[in-house]
């Protein structure tokens, strides 16, 4: 711990340290510029020396600070999640960082109590104690002995989905951006000095452009696969009946273990962006109370994987068949017309504007011809968006699906819904549609059913959560 804390602070202050040494290298400043190195190390040592925690009286307490003392407390029954993280330096020293999610935004950063650099054995014992205590507050005592049940284990063959995910492309593009200056210099030198570079420059554009695109896609795919493996290697999902919790473990360099209290699980989300859906894949995330919107992405249940795996794991987690694959009720002609108009009109304007510019300003005709298929693409996109739009009601869950390019299917526990929000824009009012939003204390905190026929909204909301809105209706909903 005495090593980890100073190193963490040194990395955090690295720009300042580099600046102090650069500015101090021009003259004989004696030992003063070493203060830039000593300051973050001292801060790390002070943080270690002044941080204490204890579990007593049904709550966990964290004390830290030397000049400005802060005391953070949280009742044990408020513990939602426990996450263990081990960076390479933590793993080298057999340490882990414990992040305790309490679901309260005024306790620590993002509602979390962070205990950095505990011994691995102590961190795991603490996680077990916290989850047992939280589980004991809301359920009957569990059996004394319980063996965790494996729900899913990582298959290396799933890397084929990495280039089709948004996160994989973001990682790849970030890596390219970080190395763009070095790669640009290297490529420029190769092209200007080598015979291969001169031969490439002599090739016609119809050869070099497709070759460049193919090379770019290959590089992006390789980087996306690397990022996928680093983030998800060893991904496992288990259920511990004794603690009443789910445990997720993943990571190659930095390992993360997230424990979710089963009583706090309010549903699941299936993410099916277009590329992943066309390849028959998807990914699964949890809807959990006490995990805010910014942390939602850190609670995956299944990484990008075959859709059959996603649904099978989701059914075992929900312990109910149907919410993740049942047929949905479509929203009628008005909703279909709205999607077709929003898909076709914007894309049809592009070739129309270009044609006008070609006639009046002599723009090249090939731009008009190249964009002519856009209205057809808009038509197909609108039809697909309507096909995926729908909702359903199962014994325990409200199900909603929407989106084509970044499609999603949500299964939200009916008992977790605490309110309904009905919104109607000007164009929705003319079409007789509304957006019905279920509000909840879990996950994204709002889950929307888009373009629902206006006459269906009150009846569906009352059927999903009986008694919640019936008292506010001018005319009671017919049973």
Q: What is the mean pLDDT of each run of 10 residues along the chain (479 residues)?
A: 74 68 56 67 78 84 79 82 88 89 58 83 87 60 63 93 77 63 58 57 62 78 86 92 84 90 90 91 89 58 94 92 91 95 93 90 87 94 95 95 92 94 94 95 91 93 89 65
Q: Return the DSSP state at 469.
A: S
| Nearest-angstrom CA–CA distance, 430 and 334 | 10
Per the CB < 8 A criterion, the answer to whether 74 and 58 are in contact is: no
The CA–CA distances, whole Å, from 267 to 74, 382, 440, 457 equal 25, 28, 11, 21
Per the CB < 8 A criterion, the answer to whether 224 and 213 are in contact is: no
Q: Return the DSSP state at 460.
A: H
Two structure tokens written together for 47: 């943080």
| Nearest-angstrom CA–CA distance, 337 and 132 | 53
Per the CB < 8 A criterion, the answer to whether 289 and 266 are in contact is: yes
pLDDT in the model for residue 23: 58
Rg (CA), the chain: 28
pLDDT in the model for residue 88: 87
For the four alpha carbons of 102, 86, 154 and 231, in that order, the dihedral sign comes to: positive
Residue 145, classed as helix, strand or coil, is coil
pLDDT in the model for residue 345: 94
The CA–CA distances, whole Å, from 333 to 193, 339, 386, 387 equal 64, 10, 10, 12
Note the pTM of the prediction, 2 decimals.
0.79
139 φ, ψ (degrees, to nearest 5): -140, 170
Tally of CA atoms within 13 A in the half-sphere of 415 that contains its CB: 6
Per the CB < 8 A criterion, the answer to whether 283 and 276 are in contact is: yes
């Amino acid at each position: 711990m005495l090593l980890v804390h100073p190193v963490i602070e040194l990395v955090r202050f690295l720009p300042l340290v580099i600046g102090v040494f650069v500015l101090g290298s021009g003259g004989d400043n004696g030992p003063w510029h070493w203060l830039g190195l000593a300051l973050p190390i001292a801060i790390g040592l002070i943080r270690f020396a002044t941080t204490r925690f204890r579990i007593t009286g049904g709550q966990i307490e964290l004390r830290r600070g030397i000049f400005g003392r802060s005391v953070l407390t949280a009742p044990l029954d408020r513990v939602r999640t426990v996450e263990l993280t081990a960076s390479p330096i933590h793993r080298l020293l057999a340490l882990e960082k414990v992040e305790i999610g309490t679901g309260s935004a005024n306790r620590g950063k993002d509602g979390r109590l962070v205990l950095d650099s505990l011994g691995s054995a102590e961190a795991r014992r603490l996680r077990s104690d916290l989850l047992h205590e939280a589980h004991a507050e809301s359920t009957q005592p569990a059996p004394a002995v319980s063996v965790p049940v494996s729900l899913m284990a990582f298959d290396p063959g799933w890397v084929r989905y990495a280039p089709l995910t948004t996160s994989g492309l973001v990682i790849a593009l970030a890596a390219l951006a970080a190395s763009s200056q070095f790669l640009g210099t290297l490529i420029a030198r190769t092209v200007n000095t080598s015979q291969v570079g001169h031969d490439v420059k002599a090739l016609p554009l119809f050869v070099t452009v497709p070759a460049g695109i193919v090379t770019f896609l290959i590089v992006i795919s390789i980087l996306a696969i690397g990022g996928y493996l680093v983030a998800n290697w060893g991904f496992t999902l288990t259920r511990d009946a004794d603690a009443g919790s789910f445990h997720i473990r993943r990571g190659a360099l930095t390992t993360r273990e997230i424990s979710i209290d089963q009583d706090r699980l309010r549903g699941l989300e299936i993410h099916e962006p277009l590329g992943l859906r066309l390849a028959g894949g998807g990914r699964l995330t949890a809807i959990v109370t006490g995990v805010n919107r910014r942390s939602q992405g850190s609670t995956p249940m299944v990484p990008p994987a075959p859709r059959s795996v996603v649904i099978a794991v989701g059914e075992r987690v929900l312990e109910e068949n149907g919410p993740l694959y049942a047929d949905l009720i479509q929203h009628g002609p008005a909703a279909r017309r709205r999607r077709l108009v929003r898909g076709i009109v914007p894309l049809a304007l592009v070739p129309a504007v270009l044609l006008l510019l070609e006639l009046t300003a002599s723009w090249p005709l090939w731009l008009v011809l190249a964009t002519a298929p856009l209205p057809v693409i808009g038509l197909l996109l609108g039809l697909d968006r309507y096909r995926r739009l729908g909702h359903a009601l199962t014994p325990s869950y409200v199900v909603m699906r929407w989106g084509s390019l970044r499609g999603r299917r949500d299964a939200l526990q009916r008992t977790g819904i605490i309110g309904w929000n009905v919104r109607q824009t000007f164009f929705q009012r003319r079409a007789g549609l509304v957006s019905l939003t279920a509000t909840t204390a879990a996950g994204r905190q709002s889950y929307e059913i888009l373009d629902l026929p206006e006459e269906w909204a009150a009846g569906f909301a009352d059927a999903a959560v009986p008694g919640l809105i019936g008292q506010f209706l001018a005319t009671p909903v017919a049973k």
